[in-house]
Chains A and B, each alone.
Chain A
Amino acid sequence: MATLDELFDAAGARLRTAAGTPSSDRSASARDLDLFLSALTEPLDLRDGLGTEDVPRSPVTNDLVYHLRRASDALRSAQRLLPSPGGGPAEGNLPEASAAVHAVRDVIESHRGPDRVPLSAYAYALTTGPAHHYLTRRCAELAWGATQVASALARDSLDPSAAAAFGDVHRFLSEASVFGREGTRDADAAIGALSLTLPVAPVQARSTDRTRDVPANLAEDCDRLSRAAFETLHHRSDHRMSGSDLQQLARWTAIQRLLAGRVLLRAAEELPDEAAAALRDSAGALRGSAQAWQKSATAWHRIVDIADPRSHPKLPPPSYEIVRRGEVVRLPQVVPHPATVIAHTAAVRVGQLLYGPEWRPETATRPEPRAGSEVLADARGTGALASALYRLPAAGWQLALAAPQAVSLARGGLVTDVFEQQAPGRENHRFRPVNPYQLEALSHPYKAVLPAEQASAASLLEVAGQAGVSVPRALLDAAAHRTLAAGQGWGQARKAVRSGQSGFQAQQPQVRARQRPRSL
């Protein structure tokens, strides 16, 4: 999925090619440049914030839009002086630049719904002044690219009045770009890492997937997971997570972390000592994450969700008679929450990177991992590997933040067969509703997941940093997480990433040792 930075870069590259290629049909080029300029004002139309709130557009952005409009007007004058566009083969560069800028708008729009409700945690990041200035700045840079196209057109024009009109276009665009870049020094570069947000749909890994696509596929899985977390936090989904969804989500997440750790250990075998040690540290941190997630899964041992269609007590099991007669009583249909399916998919993907595309967890064998050099080649190097795996704990942190909310939503259907005293007359009923303490015991383990995931993320960012790979996404996540948690600890991350050192205040989950025999 292309990020905003990539889209702006692509548009810039197209403009440079267009300016360097002599136009065979100046009328058509003028029209295409006009279309590009109107596309360029789209990302700047930021007056609509989230909900009913209106974010005032900054004077710099207003100026840029004003100059772009003047350039458009001058371009239209030029078009009137030129013959109608011919029917020859169209030049592709300007339309492709417009398409890239349209895609910028699509990325922004994907984060908010029709009523301007935020659809992802990243929607808030887009509402700040520095975020607007990022867009203004990148558009101003593209305006500069457009000046080059305009001056090429002026140079090639034989009609002096058309040449003068193109000269005006050039002048207005130059002003636009100079003012736009001058006034936006506070632009938030982290916004450039934003990409399209994906719907929470159950996606599956296939054995035909190429292992070199694992990093890109994982990024999409993690995006869907973080959106699932957001929807849970904000009650945006009709499909709530059941008890068994939460338990299985936690286990698959733990399995992902373990596999990611093994991937790093395998890659470390190929590296010199110092780099290998950093990878082993990350593998250790990921193991801590796995333990924290597994602990949250074990909290569900004696608690069942009866609202969960998978364990509905009322439907009779098919009797031998019925089966023999061919009248099968169907048990309730299974519809797992998409997040559970995606967590499984992500686990399979990390496993495919390590063991090859045929690997599945349920084969229950101990396969020989692929060579570390193959893993590193698929991931495109140590830094890129760490950067790809970083997405797992970043999304996991959001899930762990949302999980207590999911527990609370499932509350009504939770029953347990563990209680202090059997109520008289209820001896024949095995399950009864959970009490508040048991509910708290379900939510509590997720608190230990948060710092463990932070530690894993910080450690992976350090590996990426050592390998000289920047992870712009980490800055964006830090901003989103600050909004999500408002002071839950991720806030320090942003400063830490900025100053290039790991400052995640990682607290290892406290494991309380108990002496008496554990009842499991």
Chain B
Amino acid sequence: MNALDDNLASRDPSTVLAGAWDALDLGARVADAITWEETSDELLALTAAQECSAARALLPLPGTGRPVPLEASEIQAGPGGLAPYAGLLERTYRALAGLAEQDVQLSEAAEHAAAAARSLAAVRGQ
């Protein structure tokens, strides 16, 4: 995940977009993994996954790199367990919004990323 943050902070737009793609991909997998857990609000989890997919689909496919590995056991229990992922999505939103200035499609992707971050943060309540 640190590598993703580095990519999102990069000065090269294509690196930022590739980082955003992988971050959104990770976000969708996290949301899908915890959707049916007892402590989850299923609707918010599904929404988070949906928003991640919608944002990712608006971005160009990264040419290189590897998907971020994720094991179910890596996701910590409790409301705080999702915070790192929601935070990553939040930073993805900022990175995309920074690039979006005049591009409708990228600002749309940024909106989806923001909604994904909000939904994922709220899945396990406050």
Contacts and interface: CB of A to CB of B under 8 A. Distances in A.
A80 interface: no
A470 interface: no
B60 A315 contact: yes
A306 interface: yes
Interface string A114-127: 00000000000000
Contact of B66 (A297, A308, A430): A430
Contact of A317 (B36, B99, B112, B119): B99
A316 interface: yes
Given A254-B46, A310-B57, A361-B47, A520 B106 contact: no
Interface string A256-294: 001100100000000000000000000000010011001
Contacts of B48: 364
Contacts of A333: 105
Interface string B50-79: 110110111111111111011111000000
B49 interface: yes
A245 to B, nearest CB: 9
B61 A328 contact: no
A319 B42 CA distance: 38
Contact of A311 (B30, B60, B103, B106): B60
A520 B26 CA distance: 9
10 contacts: A251-B46, A254-B46, A287-B42, A301-B25, A318-B13, A318-B99, A318-B102, A323-B103, A331-B60, A364-B119
Interface in B72-115: 72-73, 99, 101-103, 105-106, 108, 111-112, 115
Interface size classification for chain A: 35 or more
B82 to A, nearest CB: 13
Nearest to A262: B43
A334 B17 contact: no
Interface residues of B, number: 55
Contacts of A418: 67
Contacts of A512: none
B16 to A, nearest CB: 8
CB-based closest 5 A-B pairs: A364-B118, A364-B119, A244-B57, A362-B115, A310-B57
B102 A328 contact: yes
A290 B50 CA distance: 13
Contacts of B115: 362-364
Contacts of A510: none
A255 B42 CA distance: 9
A437 interface: no
Interface string A324-358: 00101011011000000000000000000000000
B7 interface: no
A302 to B, nearest CB: 7
Contacts of A331: 58, 60, 103, 105-106
A517 B43 contact: no
A232 to B, nearest CB: 19
B72 A517 contact: yes
A320 B47 contact: no
A302 B69 CA distance: 12
A323 B72 contact: no
A327 to B, nearest CB: 9
Given A317-B17, A328-B102, A334-B58, A362 B47 contact: yes
Interface string B1-30: 000000000010110010000000100111
A518 B72 contact: yes
Contacts of A317: 13-14, 17, 60, 99, 106
Contacts of B111: 362
A520 B30 contact: yes
Nearest to A291: B36
B64 A255 contact: no
Given A334-B105, A520-B32, A251 B49 contact: yes
A363 B61 CA distance: 27
A92 B62 CA distance: 67
Given A316-B14, A520-B30, A244 B53 contact: yes
Contact of A294 (B29, B35, B69, B71): B35
A361 B61 contact: no
A308 B71 CA distance: 29
Contact of A520 (B29, B54, B108): B29
A519 B69 contact: yes
A365 B103 contact: no
A417 interface: yes
A428 B64 contact: yes
B60 A361 contact: no
A363 B51 CA distance: 11
B25 A318 contact: no
A306 B62 CA distance: 11
Interface in A168-207: none
A366 B56 CA distance: 25
Contacts of B101: 323
Nearest to A304: B61
Contact of B61 (A254, A311, A316, A517): A311
A13 B105 CA distance: 54
A431 B61 contact: yes
Nearest to A300: B53
A254 B25 CA distance: 19
A425 B78 CA distance: 44
Given A313-B60, A323-B103, A362-B111, 16 more contacts: A248-B57, A254-B46, A255-B50, A259-B43, A317-B60, A318-B102, A318-B103, A320-B11, A331-B58, A331-B60, A334-B108, A362-B112, A366-B41, A428-B63, A519-B69, A520-B70
Contacts of A308: 57
